[in-house]
Amino acid sequence: LDRMLQIAADSGAGMVYADHYQIANNEKKNSPVITYQKGSLRDDFNFGSVLIYKSDRLKKAVANMETEYKFAGIYDLRLKVSQQSEIVHINEYLYTEIENDTRKSGEKVFDYVDPKNREVQIEMEKACTEHLKKIGAYLAPNFRKVEFDQVNFEYEASVIIPVRNRIKTISDAIKSVLSQKTNFKFNLIIVDNYSTDGTTEAIDKFTDERLIHVIPENKELGIGGCWNAGVHHPKCGKFAVQ
């Protein structure tokens, strides 16, 4: 706590959070968390169990909370704090927590579409919409039709694969994409988020010119940031699929 308070004071952050250790099934493991990007909207962003708020920013954020939420209160609070100050990630292991939900990640990822959680998601969407309006980022649902023919795309479509440490599956994924038969030109953009298990080398073994291997400059991009890096690549096609 002393270290977190020190960094909170030195950085002037509205909120700080840290990497930590996690005990699951009687085994202690490192549990690093990713750096919060300005504009992040994920309601399930993993900050860990310990959050330190600067008291005056916390009070101001609470004063600006206009809706009484049943589920989205902590999410709304975080968004309100981010409107006025930075949220800082401390890249140090500063505490230990016990993980009670020991399901595999693949079993957790679709919790948000569980019908019983619909009320939760409605609240999260409402809090997010209010936040976007406050920061001037809300787009009213009035859209113009995009005329793709006004821009010359080298490729009609791009398959984008964000990846990190998937040595067992990445080669099969690449072969699957490149073996597709189409009557239009397409490519494959792999955004490799600094893999350390040989994934990078496995990608480099492929010589097909349709494969574009991207290693982003930012080492702390999540899957959304890697997806954006692929979409904004100059070789990205008219249509992109993940």
User: Is the CB of residue 19 less than 8 Å from the CB of residue 32?
Assistant: yes
Helices assigned H by DSSP within 135-204: 170-178, 199-204
Average pLDDT over residues 222-239: 89
Per-residue pLDDT tens digits for 153-190: 889 999 999 999 999 999 999 999 999 999 999 999 99
Average pLDDT over residues 185-209: 94
Q: Does the pTM exceed 0.75?
A: no
Domain positions in the chain are: 2-134, 151-241
DSSP string over 84-149: HS-EEEEEEEEEEEE----S-HHHHTTGGG-GGGHHHHHHHHHHHHHHHHHTT----S--PPP-GG
Instruction: Give the CATH architecture of domain 151-241.
Output: Alpha-Beta Complex (3.90)
Per-residue pLDDT tens digits for 55-79: 999 999 999 999 999 999 999 999 9
- Cα distance between the two ends of the chain: 41
